Chains A and B, each alone.
Chain A
Amino acid sequence: MSLDRNFPRAATSRRELLKAIGAASLLTTVGGCSLFASGPSAGRVVVIGGGFGGATAAKYLKLGNPNLDVTLVEPKKQFHTCPFSNLHLAGELPMSAIAHGYDELRTQFNVRVIHAQADDVDPVTHTVRLNNGSTLKYDKLVLSPGIEIRWNALEGYDQAAAQLAPHAWQAGDQTVLLRRQLEAMEDGGVFILSAPGNPFRCPPGPYERASLIAHYFAKHKPRSKVLILDAKDNFSKQGLFTQGWKELYGERIEWVGLSGDGKVARVDATKREVFTDFGTRHKAAVLNVVPPQKAGFIADRAGVTDASGWVPVNPRTFESTQVKDIHVVGDATVAAPMPKSGFSANTQAKVAAAAIVAELEGRPTPEPYFVNTCYSLLSPDYGISVAAVYRVKDGKLIAVKESDGVSSPKAGRDTRRLEADYTRGWYAAISQDIWGSKA
């Protein structure tokens, strides 16, 4: 399918214009120049990170101006999404269903994809150093580094501990490990999930995970239980989760919040034990620690993080407030009230891409619009959602009040089933929008 067909006439005419200019400049260039190679005027953009934010940015930069020279740096050839990884933990989906690649970006959008790790950024010379020895020069840099675990921020929880008590908060090997432990667990055991304080990746994620593991237990290990130990007293969609848990799982899921001594202070991964702030010991058959987090490490190297470990940005463009020409999107950013979600990262990346295209063409950046919907599955046919539209007012990111809300607590099972269908529809659509694959 040709790119031109994706857009109505006005965009096509601009693209034709750019193509014509490109063709004209070819005549003054000695051969060997591909039609897709951009002239120096169009601009070089390097994107680091091929997840929800980065892969979206790469595609929408090319949709905005196909003559940009866009390079995507991502170590993995296959990216596993955190969204829907809880369905793998529940035995409902194979890992292949949450794996995405970069073929469409490479072949249809002419993004140069480099499978390497970005080791350093020099904002002065506008260069990125890769672990394969090469250096990339950029006019604009997009970082979508996701999260990094704060090892040892929770006593006893380091890389070695994560091999015994997985976090599974970055999808891939950790997800597979946790699933194997759940499968191997004897019936009658307790699955403990330690949930962190705010802010963290995917606010409703721990509670969806607890739900879907309870679903797996109900089907396959009926004497087993789920215990959530939480460092907070409130969590995303709490009313709907609590109501749904009662409806679907009775007493199978127990949640203990901060004021009930739910905050885990120390982990003994070898014994699969946790100790709370007040010294209560809990023993798990399978222990899942969702640990404290910060922005992915390349953000630190680029000098865009602040004392919180996250990245402050100008919400109009998602450019770093600390370093010029570096735009940061997704979980790494300070973008409250937007949650750290794949959906947020996707709309932030579109705003950043549009701003970069405009700036490199010498136009004013467009007015930004953001949307987020977090769907959660309490079982494969029971879905709930929280949604909002976000805008920038007086330099601040705000949720449009009228749009901000959760599924109706009064909705019946038909609506919950419909929202579960829409959850799957959303996953198929966002996967297509980012990687071109319908998982």
Chain B
Amino acid sequence: MPKVIRTLTFGAVALLSVSAVASETASHAQTRLLAAACANCHGTDGKLGGAIPAIAGRPASVLERQLLAFKQGQVPGATIMDRISRGYSDEELRQLAQHFSRITR
């Protein structure tokens, strides 16, 4: 029973700020859709490791630097990530780096 009350209290508080949550959700949904395509090779939420490295939980700065290096053709022996990264703006690559850095592997 105390758990239900806590949940209800949380629900009431959350409902009061529902518009703030809704806009956060919209921008978050946008980032998640941007990032969802990466799962095709890196697993859901970028967590799958193997021949293709996992990207979840790596520092944002490391991911961003690597993505920009791919985009600028500075990664020797790159296969497809040089092509894929050129499909995004630097800002989008930054968002992706931040998104995956926040996911615990």
Contact = CB atoms under 8 A, between A and B. Distances in A.
A14 B25 contact: yes
B75 interface: no
B22 interface: yes
Contact of A433 (B32, B43, B80): B43
A5 B30 CA distance: 19
A415 interface: yes
A432 B44 contact: yes
A356 to B, nearest CB: 11
A354 interface: yes
Interface string A1-24: 000011111110110110111011
Nearest to A383: B79
B80 A24 contact: no
A186 interface: no
Given A350-B37, A402-B86, A418 B11 contact: no
Interface stretch (A198-206, A238-246, A364-372): A364-372
Interface in B32-84: 32-34, 36-37, 39-45, 48, 50-52, 77, 79-80, 83-84
Contacts of A9: 102
A20 B45 contact: no
A15 to B, nearest CB: 10
Contact of B33 (A361, A369, A385): A369
Contact of A422 (B4, B79, B86, B103): B79
A219 interface: no
B26 A363 contact: yes
A404 B52 CA distance: 21
A300 interface: no
Nearest to A411: B79
A429 interface: yes
Interface string B72-105: 0000010110011111100000000001001110
Contacts of A426: 40-41, 52
Contact of A403 (B42, B43, B87, B99): B87
B32 A369 contact: no
Contact of A17 (B4, B21, B41, B77): B21
A358 B29 contact: yes
Contacts of B99: 8
Contact of A10 (B24, B34, B83, B104): B24
B41 A350 contact: no
B99 to A, nearest CB: 7
B11 A432 contact: no
A403 B83 contact: yes
B29 A371 contact: no
Nearest to B56: A6
With most chain A CB atoms within 10 A of its CB, the pick from B15, B34, B43 is B43
A426 B40 CA distance: 7
Contact of A368 (B25, B33, B103): B33
Contact-size category for B: 35 or more
B41 A354 contact: no
Given A9-B102, A369-B37, A426-B52, A433 B44 contact: yes
Contacts of B50: 425, 428-429
B28 A14 contact: yes
A144 to B, nearest CB: 16
B45 A373 contact: no
A207 B26 CA distance: 43
A75 B8 CA distance: 41
B37 A403 contact: no
Given A14-B21, A388-B87, A424-B51, A373 B80 contact: yes
A430 B29 contact: no
Contacts of B24: 10, 13-14
Nearest to B100: A8
Contact of A432 (B18, B36, B43): B43
Contacts of B102: 8-9
Contacts of A391: 87
A432 to B, nearest CB: 5
A405 B10 contact: no
Given A20-B14, A64-B29, A426-B41, 20 more contacts: A6-B45, A6-B103, A9-B102, A10-B25, A11-B32, A14-B28, A24-B8, A64-B32, A343-B40, A347-B36, A350-B33, A351-B33, A354-B36, A366-B29, A415-B79, A425-B41, A429-B48, A432-B44, A433-B40, A433-B43
24 contacts: A7-B32, A8-B102, A8-B103, A16-B10, A17-B21, A20-B10, A23-B7, A346-B40, A357-B29, A369-B36, A369-B37, A373-B40, A373-B80, A388-B83, A389-B86, A389-B87, A400-B86, A400-B87, A403-B84, A415-B79, A424-B51, A429-B42, A432-B43, A438-B48
